[in-house]
Amino acid sequence: MKRESRHIIAGTISCISGLHVGGTEDQLEIGGLDLPVIKHPDTGDPYIPGSSLKGRMRSELEHRLGKYSGLGKNEPCGCCLTDCPVCRVFGPHKFDPRHPPAGGHPGPTRLIVRDAPAQGKISYEIKTESGNDRATGQAGNPRQLERVAAGATFRMRLVLQVFDSDANFAWKVKKGKDALLAVVCECLKDVESTGIGGGISRGSGEVSIKVETLDGKPWECN
C-alpha cells in the first residue's frame, strides 16, 4: 500500500450554544468547579481535542449506517469491508492481525484530526445542573458545569491521506479521493446536527462548522 497524496482541510468551528469538553482530574481545585472545560496547560486557553471531534464524526457515521454495534458488543465498527466508509476513513476498531476478518484490512486511518485551538476573545459561563427525584420531582445534587460561552470560535484542521488502494472506493456517486472527501464532509454536517462535547442532550455543544480551504485554496464541502 502506497500513499499517493495528503490533503489539508481547514475551517472554523463556531459555538452556537455553550460548549463543554471536560478537562482531566488534575485540573480540579479545592472549592473549584465540579466540571471544568479542558484547557491548554501553558496558555490556559480552551481547545477542542482532535479525539473529541474525530470520535463524534465517527460515531455519527456509524449511527447513520447502523454499524456501531461491532460484534454485538455495542462497539465501534471493525468489519474491515472494502466498501465500509467507517473502517476506511477512520480505521477499523480492535483489528487483530492474527484473526483478520473476511474483508481483509483497509489499511491505516485516512483521517487525522488536529486539536482545534480557540481564536480571539473567549468568555466562560457556569451552568448549574441537577438530578431530579423521580418520585417527588424535586431537584437535588446540583453540580456546576463550566462552558465556553456561545460565540467562541476554534480553528479546525484535518489531514486526509489518500492511498493507491483508495482508487476504487466509492461513496454515493464519487470515487477515490473525492469519495473520501465526501465522507468527511458528510460527517462534519452530521456533527452540526448534534454537537460536540458533553451535555449535548441538555443544551450544550451546538456548533456551526465552516470548511474554508482545501490545501490552502478556497473550498466548500458538497
Q: Is residue 9 situated within a structural domain? A: yes
Which whole-number Å values give the CA distances from 43 to 19, 117, 205, in the listed order? 19, 11, 23
Asked if residue 141 belongs to a domain, the reply is no
Residue 7 scores a pLDDT above 50: yes
Dump pLDDT digits (tens) for 140-169: 667 888 999 999 999 999 999 999 999 999
Give the dihedral sign, CA 66/109/78/104: positive
Range(s) of the domain holding residue 213: 3-30+38-122+150-218
Q: Is residue 139 part of a domain?
A: no
Whether residue 165 is contained in a domain is answered as yes
In a domain, 177, yes or no: yes
How does residue 182 score in pLDDT terms, banded at 50, 70 and 90?
very high
Domain assignment of residue 143, yes or no: no
pLDDT digits (tens, 9 = 90+) for 71-112: 556 788 888 888 899 999 998 877 666 566 565 667 789 999
> For 28-69, how does the pLDDT look when each residue is reduced to its tens digit (9 = 90+)?
454 456 689 999 989 999 999 999 999 999 999 999 998 876
136 within some domain:
no
Tell me the average pLDDT of the chain: 87
The answer to whether 144 touches 126, Cβ cutoff 8 Å, is yes
Note the pTM of the prediction, 2 decimals: 0.87
Residue 130 within any structural domain of the chain: no
**What domain count does the chain have?**
1
